[in-house]
Amino acid sequence: MKNLKKSTHIHTYLIEVKGLVQGVGFRPFIYRLAIEHGLKGWVKNTNKNVLVCINTNETTLKRFIKEIQSKSPPASDIISINHTKTKSEIFSDFRIIASSDISDEITEVSPDIAVCDDCLEDMKIQEHRISYPFLNCTNCGPRFTIIRDLPYDRANTTMSGFTMCETCRSEYYDAGDRRFHAQPVACNNCGPEYELIIQDNHIRGINKILKQTANLIDTGKIVAIKGQGGFHLACNALNEEAVDRLRKSKYREGKPFAVMFRDVESIKKYALLNSIEEQEIILWRRPIVILKAKKSLAYPVSSGLKTIGCMLPYMPFHYQLFELLKTPVIVLTSGNLSDEPIIIDNKSAVKILRPITDAVLIYNRDIYNRTDDSVVMVVNETPRMLRRSRGYVPNPIRLKFDVNGILATGAELVNCFCLGKGNYAILSQHIGDLKNFETYTFYTESIDHFQKIFRMKAELIAHDMHPDYLSTKWAIEAGLKKTAIQHHHAHIASAMAEHGLDEKVIGVSFDGTGYGDDDNIWGGEFLISDLNDYSRYTHFEYKPMPGGDMVTYEPWRMAVSYLYSIYGEDFLDFKLPFLRNIDKEKLRIVVQMLGDKLNSPLTSGAGRLFDAIAALLNICTQSEFHAEAPMRLESAIIHGIKDSYPFSTGKTIGFSDTFKSVLDDIRKGTSEGIISAKFHNTIIKVVEKTVNSIRQETGLKKVILSGGTFQNRYLLANLEPALRNFGFDVYAHSLIPCNDGGIALGQLAIAAKRRESEESEE
Ligand code: ZN
Ligand code: ZN
Ligand code: FE
């Protein structure tokens, strides 16, 4: 009786909700929930949290908090809800009060959210939004791409130049409306507009634009379309000529193009889609999901690879376009030339994309933060991030230790940087190859944007050990305290950080290149590692790379390097098919380089071994895009093969016996698909054997798999269960990329731990 009395007594409670709760429709959600419960008080955003103040009793409070947790908007992510009794105050209604900017502490910024079903419906029924392509609500629309600063209010976004009309204004201030405090709220009368430029014709009016655009694409033309995070180039993915032309004009020889399908049903006609893949592809984040092809699109879409990168519409315009398009699928690739960053501004689009397209579609709202489409694959029923950008950035990775004030500058070829704020690691969007000048500018600008948006000033810089990486040079020029981190140690630490591990583990780090602490190029590494330090247990044996970086364009050089190391010049008489494609003079020079040990840095890179096998099988002797040879080698695999090849272990792991057996198989006429499967199985055996030895010696049983080589589905799909069968706990990536796009997180974690141990020494 006493308790009951206590729980019905009315108090004033202050509830603090932390996590991703801004820009995701959280305040209107709280408002509606409060009204449902008949509560009075207020809700507000600060740049630290969402605060709710109510008059209620303990029983209702508990029920209210429970429902905040269970009914929260899809893009929100609550980390904690705390409540306290506060100074008694009596409220007469429930209201949303203005944001207050109270500190430098972080409030999360939402990634962009695909248009919701309610908004798609409103495009058909709301008078002022009939066919309006920039409609949005508290549950959907652009976020990160338009945010310049916090708190997330219209004035701090690129919508600031658009004045709301009376109707939008009344919705914005009406607590019962779906667009109550939806910052980018807009309609046909007041919001951004598209403009289609065909040669010198400027076409306005959404209906005319849609008709023309659909017609252009259906008749085999190429259109540049301004998207959420940058421009896309679009054409009919079933029209070989159009796709081929697009490929040539982009200077992107063989790299697969992503496609957008009308709907899930159309995807199922062309690709295999399991239930987890389906969940990923319909997610509000709308990534590109790599699927196994079932029926082919125009050949040049994926140039012979057996997978297709598929996504679904996510902007209102995409839906509108598919209503008119005859084709169920379009190529939608980033609007840039080869390795440059995706174009975001109208001027550059007109200048650079108009000459290579038939029309350019722009709109008059700026993109502030550039984002590419994100890319995910599903392996062993787990989504695996391959490129993390639109829809994911800037969601933080939550760590158990303090990373505040640390900036990790990432690697070079697939760069992302990472910022530490409190216990949060905020990984930047995919930046790209820093060697490209425009990309480097994008990199430095984004570092500035992030420091500003997240109110963080770097005090400690973590960077790769590679002296020539531009991210290392940036770190040196910053003139701050810094710490250099070995590439593969960072890979392992990134997976540890993702999984909240802070202990000694077995690190298996396979990739193409990373600077080693013996000045050689590493990439087939077995480390014993924690977040502070590592030791190198063993690695793939070193092989010379004749011509240095040239091997990444000409994988045949690695095949020659392996063969030369086993047979000397005798291999030239083996009549190997792949050698027929090689320029005789080039081959002579390469053999001479190997003989004289000239211009041939040493590598233990797994990527180089895959290159060598792919070239030896004549699957890929020249590479047109990054990691083409390993991708084609994987694509060639015939499934269901259990055999593998011999290899040697000792101080290092040797593959001479592997090559000898591969040559035997080639001579016997064994198919390349079987050889490829046996080779992949060999790598799995190598890992099994080595981690078992490490466990025997050290007792460690947690195995981390990281590095770009684990983008190989076959390898990951088979290795994870194989190691689990041996009783290992296996940790591979899911939320962040296993490639160099995830490395900055590892750098950040290592730098933080080093700082911690330094401080405890003092
Ligand atoms: Zn909506
Ligand atoms: Zn309006
Ligand atoms: Fe790497």
pLDDT of 176 reads: 77
Average pLDDT value for residue range 269-296: 97
- Angle between helix axes 606-616 and 628-636 (nearest 10 degrees) is 60
User: Is pLDDT of 103 > 70?
Assistant: no
Helix ranges (DSSP H) in 283-430: 316-324, 346-348
Higher pLDDT, 503 or 1: 503
State how far the Cα of 451 lies from the Cα of 426, in Å rounded to an integer: 11
pLDDT of 81 reads: 96
Cα(272) to centroid(ligand 3), Å = 30
User: Is pLDDT of 101 > 80?
Assistant: no
pLDDT of 5 reads: 53
pLDDT per residue over 220-250, tens digit each? 999 999 999 999 999 999 999 999 999 988 8
Q: What are the contacts of 752-755 at 24+ separation with CB within 8 A? A: 752/399, 752/401, 752/402, 752/403, 752/406, 752/420, 752/531, 753/401, 753/502, 753/530, 753/531, 753/532, 754/483, 754/532, 755/406, 755/460
The candidate with the shortest Cα–Cα distance to 501, out of 223, 342, 701, is: 701
State how far the Cα of 236 lies from the Cα of 221, in Å rounded to an integer: 8
Q: Which ligand is nearest to the CA of 128?
A: 2
Cα(486) to centroid(ligand 3), Å = 10
Q: Tell me how far the alpha carbon of residue 578 is from its chain's centroid.
A: 35
Average pLDDT value for residue range 96-123: 79
pLDDT per residue over 350-409, tens digit each? 999 999 999 999 999 999 999 999 999 999 999 999 999 999 999 999 999 999 999 999
Cα(228) to centroid(ligand 1), Å = 15
Higher pLDDT, 22 or 749: 749
Cα(236) to centroid(ligand 1), Å = 28
Q: Which CATH architecture has domain 2-96?
A: 2-Layer Sandwich (3.30)
Average pLDDT value for residue range 282-310: 95
* 177: confidence class by pLDDT, cuts 50, 70, 90: confident
Average pLDDT value for residue range 476-500: 97
> Which fold would CATH assign to domain 388-503+738-761?
Nucleotidyltransferase; domain 5 (3.30.420)
For 543-732, give the CATH class: alpha beta
Average pLDDT value for residue range 415-440: 96
Give the lowest-confidence range in 95-104, 154-163, 687-696, 704-713: 95-104
Q: What are the contacts of 640-645 at 24+ separation with CB within 8 A? A: 641/674, 641/677, 641/678, 641/681, 642/681, 643/677, 643/678, 643/681, 644/678, 644/679, 644/681, 644/682, 644/684, 644/685, 645/678, 645/679, 645/681, 645/682
Q: Which ligand is nearest to the CA of 179?
A: 1
Cα(165) to centroid(ligand 2), Å = 4
User: Is pLDDT of 1 > 50?
Assistant: no
Average pLDDT value for residue range 27-38: 91
Cα(147) to centroid(ligand 1), Å = 18
pLDDT of 48 reads: 75
Per-chain mean pLDDT for the chain: 94
Q: Which ligand is nearest to the CA of 169?
A: 2
Cα(513) to centroid(ligand 3), Å = 6
Cα(170) to centroid(ligand 2), Å = 9
- What percentage of the chain exceeds 90 in pLDDT? 87
Q: Which ligand is nearest to the CA of 136?
A: 1
Cα(315) to centroid(ligand 2), Å = 18
pLDDT per residue over 180-227, tens digit each? 888 999 999 999 999 999 999 999 999 999 999 999 999 999 999 999
Run of H or E including 437: helix 437-453
CATH number, span 194-363: 3.90.870.10
Domain limits, the chain: 2-96, 109-192, 194-363, 388-503+738-761, 543-732
Cα(186) to centroid(ligand 2), Å = 5
Q: Which ligand is nearest to the CA of 413?
A: 3
Where does residue 407 rank: exposed (0-12), middle (13-18), buried (19+ CB within 10 A)? buried
Cα(541) to centroid(ligand 1), Å = 55
pLDDT of 237 reads: 98
pLDDT of 415 reads: 96
> Which fold would CATH assign to domain 109-192?
DHBP synthase (3.90.870)
Cα(133) to centroid(ligand 1), Å = 12
Cα(282) to centroid(ligand 2), Å = 29
Q: Which ligand is nearest to the CA of 122?
A: 1
Q: Which ligand is nearest to the CA of 188?
A: 2
What protein residues have CB closer than 5 angstroms to ion ligand 2?
Answer: 165, 168, 187, 189-190
pLDDT per residue over 721-742, tens digit each? 999 999 999 999 999 999 999 9
Cα(261) to centroid(ligand 1), Å = 21
Cα(414) to centroid(ligand 3), Å = 9
pLDDT of 6 reads: 61
pLDDT of 76 reads: 87
Question: Do 194-363 and 109-192 have the same topology in CATH?
Answer: yes
Q: Which ligand is nearest to the CA of 113?
A: 1
Cα(131) to centroid(ligand 2), Å = 13
pLDDT of 100 reads: 62
Cα(539) to centroid(ligand 3), Å = 15
Cα(284) to centroid(ligand 2), Å = 25
> What are the start-end ranges of the E strands in 695-759?
702-706, 729-731
Cα(323) to centroid(ligand 2), Å = 24
